[in-house]
Structure 1
Amino acid sequence: MTQPNAPARRYFVPKGGLPPQSQLVTDRAMFTEAFAVIPRGVLSDIVTSALPFWDKTRFWVLARPLSGFAETFSQYIVEISPGGGSNRPETDPNAEGAIFVVEGTVEIALGGKTHSLTSGGFGYLPAGATWLVNAPDGAVFHWVRKRYIAVDGLPAPDAFFAQEQDIAPTEMPGTNGGWATTRFMDPTDLRHDMHVTIVTLMPGAVIPFDETHVMEHGLYVLQGKGVYHLNQKWVEVEAGDFMWLRAFCPQACYAGGPDPFRYLLYKDVNRHAALP
């Protein structure tokens, strides 16, 4: 099997709105002790948030630290209207960020340079960085935020920018290309305490065992559909759905439908477990 070519790399973008009064209330939204599923139909106008120092911008907050659940990260879908943006996007000096653009063009000014990220663009913004962001014609991107865990004797990572289309996916062993990961961070670089990747499963491919591990996850389905096995429950998901997994939640899946099943994945890595 071969990897999906460039035209197949599509990213679902929420459009907001409000369901009609005739729609059934029951949906696939789920919140359990081990995982949450936020279907794309939940992303309506009335659940958006506004944040200080952002102009012409609204946010769908998909995840935030919760005591007794997932505690390491927050994740937003950011929709900037034409001409919007922020001269002070991050108000927490200890927060690092990762941005992945799914629609339009985002301009990020950092260190005297302006980086233009189109659909498929990725940016890593280290804690304490002073950056600005704007979208002259409007844009939508994912923003993952995490409090950086510094280690004595280990320098902090530098900012960097990339396009998904320029990164060769890493095939998982023995899958003949059916399961692959596009890695934005170098997995051997221990300066990073989080990884953001894109996982691709071709139709019919599987993650063939219940992964049960210390990493927390945020998974946003960019394309296609699949079935996830989460803590002994089978859950159907499709493009635009978000899954939020706490540490040690068993997880496996298989891809269905005619398109590749692709999702943006967050996980915390490379640090000792915090002890009380």
Structure 2
Amino acid sequence: MTTPPGGLPPQTALMTGRAVFTESYAVIPRGCQTDIVTSILPGWTGMRMWMLARPMSGFSETFSHYLVELETGGGCQAPEVDPLAQSILYVVDGTLTLRVDGTDHAMTAGGYAYVPAGTDWSVNAPQDARFHWIRKRWVAAPGTTTPPAFVTREADHDPVAMPGTDGRWATTRFVDPSDTDHDCHVNIVTFQPGGLIPFEETHVMEHGLFVLEGKAAYKLNRDWVEVEAGDYMWLRAYCPQACYAGGPGQFRYLLYKDVNRHAALGGVLG
């Protein structure tokens, strides 16, 4: 699973790259995720992070997506500053200790956690670690309750093949799609070589897609772009999208989408 290389390109490198920001999507290649664009959050030790997505009026408004790097011993006793924000963590490298309501959970590569809004939690790295941290304000709705916290592993969830694809396109889900207590999903999508999205998906859900493995050609609005492990795609609502995984290996990405709630009319639903 490829994560940003850090450092900076040499002065002899060509500037030309694949980064693009349009009215409907952005592509942030892994080569853009260098030391010069990292952030450090107050209250943390031994950390730096790449802020890949943040709410922007008129673009993608529901979530933020960070890729956090911790040195051995680094962490934070109170990571979340917004009492309304829920968090999803996905570990890509190293070891992370997540404490939720006083219980410690050891997480390694492929570890996944859901932390509901208003939860007491902390993180610490017994050894160098990198993890994705996706945040969204939880929106209550009639008949819903705050979902419980859980910690699991990708290896414990079988990918579910999309209908009629013979397993070439499959989704690893960590939350039951029928559970409307959840107002967002963070899944892992896997394409085998030659697998594809055979139509242009055009829908209300906003997306953040971090490529974990492989490479593919992705249709974003009017454009075909090539993406590879370590790249990030950020899509606003209704951006047409499709995909072709050319191989030679499988193509996998971590996917955020907002689901299961009314559209806010003239303001934020509370």
Match of 2:4 among 2, 14, 17: 14
Partner of 1:4: none
What's the CA shift for 1:94? Answer: 0.6
How does 1:40-51 map onto structure 2 within 5 Å?
A: 40-51=30-41
- The secondary structure found in structure 1 opposite 2:230 is coil
How does 1:234-249 map onto structure 2 within 5 Å?
A: 234-249=224-239
Q: Is the Cα contact below 8 Å between 1:224 and 1:256 reproduced in 2? A: no
Partner of 2:86: 96
**Which residue identity lines up with residue 251 of structure 2 in the other structure?**
F
What's the CA shift for 1:154? Answer: 1.3
Match of 2:22 among 25, 32, 56: 32
Task: For 2:125 and 2:176, locate their aligned partners in 1 and report how far apart those are by CA, in whole Å.
Answer: 28
Partner of 1:197: 187
How does 1:68-217 map onto structure 2 within 5 Å?
A: 68-217=58-207
Partner of 1:52: 42
**Which residue identity lines up with residue 270 of structure 1 in the other structure?**
N
CA distances 1:113-133 after superposition (whole Å, capped 9, x unpaired): 101111000000000001010
CA distances 1:6-52 after superposition (whole Å, capped 9, x unpaired): xxxxx112220100011111210000000000000001001000101
Task: For 2:2 and 2:176, locate their aligned partners in 1 and report how far apart those are by CA, in whole Å.
Answer: 26
Identity of aligned residues (%): 62
Task: For 1:115 and 1:15, locate their aligned partners in 2 and report how far apart those are by CA, in whole Å.
Answer: 27
Alignment: residue pair count: 266
Where structure 2 has 5 or more consecutive residues not aligned to the other structure, the ranges are: none
CA distances 1:227-258 after superposition (whole Å, capped 9, x unpaired): 00111100000000000000000000010221
Task: For 2:7 and 2:246, locate their aligned partners in 1 and report how far apart those are by CA, in whole Å.
Answer: 28
Relative to the length of structure 2, the TM-score reads: 0.97
- Provide the aligned C-alpha RMSD in A: 0.7
Where structure 1 has 5 or more consecutive residues not aligned to the other structure, the ranges are: 1-10
- The secondary structure found in structure 1 opposite 2:245 is strand
Task: For 1:92 and 1:55, locate their aligned partners in 2 and report how far apart those are by CA, in whole Å.
Answer: 19
Relative to the length of structure 1, the TM-score reads: 0.95
Moved over 2 A (4+): none
**Which residue identity lines up with residue 183 of structure 1 in the other structure?**
R
**Which residue identity lines up with residue 155 of structure 2 in the other structure?**
Q
Task: For 2:137 and 2:106, locate their aligned partners in 1 and report how far apart those are by CA, in whole Å.
Answer: 25
- The secondary structure found in structure 2 opposite 1:76 is strand
Partner of 2:210: 220
**Which residue identity lines up with residue 157 of structure 2 in the other structure?**
I
